Amino acid sequence: MTAVSAREVKELLRRHGVIAKKGYGQNFLVDARVLDGIVRAVEPDARTVALEVGPGLGALTAALAERAKRVVAVEKDESLRPVLDEVLAPHENAEVVYADCLKVDLRALVAPRLDEGDRLVFAANLPYYVTTPILFQVLESGLPVSRAVVMVQREVADRMVARPGGKDYGVLSVGVQYRGEVRRLFNVPPSAFLPQPGVDSAVVAIDCDKRPAVRAADEGALFRVVRAAFGTRRKTLENALAAGLGMPKDSVRQKVIAAGIDPGARAEQLSLADFVRLADEMEK
């Protein structure tokens, strides 16, 4: 049985003696409309392989498996095994790997399950306390993810889609937007979960096939510069970079100017293209 309503979820948990673990950030989806919205955003079809992290009670896993070629889910909480065994029993194309996503080589796990012509997507209701690490674990895995559709805390979604000049624009904004076109799809109220979280959520899509044209010569250098620039937001760019990168201010100033950027600007004023030019200049 795939449990989507609050009544069904409560019955499934009761029957298997399972309780939601706060330490794992477990809030189980009980709104069929939200589930349908996520699946429609993923657009699974007969050539789609879906990677999911944190399947929980398997509602999204089962819904994806009904349309996708294969679903590979990574679940940290092995106490959910009997629940997932029941929910996913009708779906031979759904596989659950019990492991900590942050300790798994996702490329080694998923790549052997991809055939030529397969479309790889990532879909997840991400635990709030590890949203960013898991998201970047997937985006930086080297896997050919074409689209990621994730449910995150609403304020995290605000930062993911933020544009330069706003208070929400920061390291997460640049990091995600560097890897694809980011869109907020819809907001999700606490009532859509059991137990209800104390915050609103939102579903965000990242189309990795629509990456921006600007590419850094060294991505590691790019994000060292981005982290340093935002490390002390109230400082000017030259002061923040000098402190964050341990470089003489005069050297930083020269490189910032050479990149065509005002040394007195603040990090939140720089576009993605600005950061790429700046990182490339800093590496010279």
Asked if residue 242 lies in contact with residue 249, where contact means CB atoms within 8 angstroms, the answer is yes
Q: Mean pLDDT throughout 231-235?
A: 88
pLDDT tens, 43-95? 999 999 999 999 999 999 999 999 999 999 999 999 999 999 999 999 999 99
Provide the pLDDT for residue 137: 95
Provide the pLDDT for residue 164: 97
pLDDT tens, 172-206? 999 999 999 999 999 999 999 999 999 999 999 99
pLDDT-derived band at 235, boundaries 50, 70, 90: very high
- Cα separation, 87 vs 9, whole angstroms: 11
* 4 has pLDDT over 90: no
* 272 has pLDDT over 60: yes
Q: Mean pLDDT throughout 108-117?
A: 96
- Cα separation, 234 vs 254, whole angstroms: 21
* 3 has pLDDT over 70: no
pLDDT tens, 183-192? 999 999 999 9
End-to-end CA gap in the chain: 59
pLDDT-derived band at 233, boundaries 50, 70, 90: confident
Provide the pLDDT for residue 5: 85
Arithmetic mean of pLDDT over the chain: 95
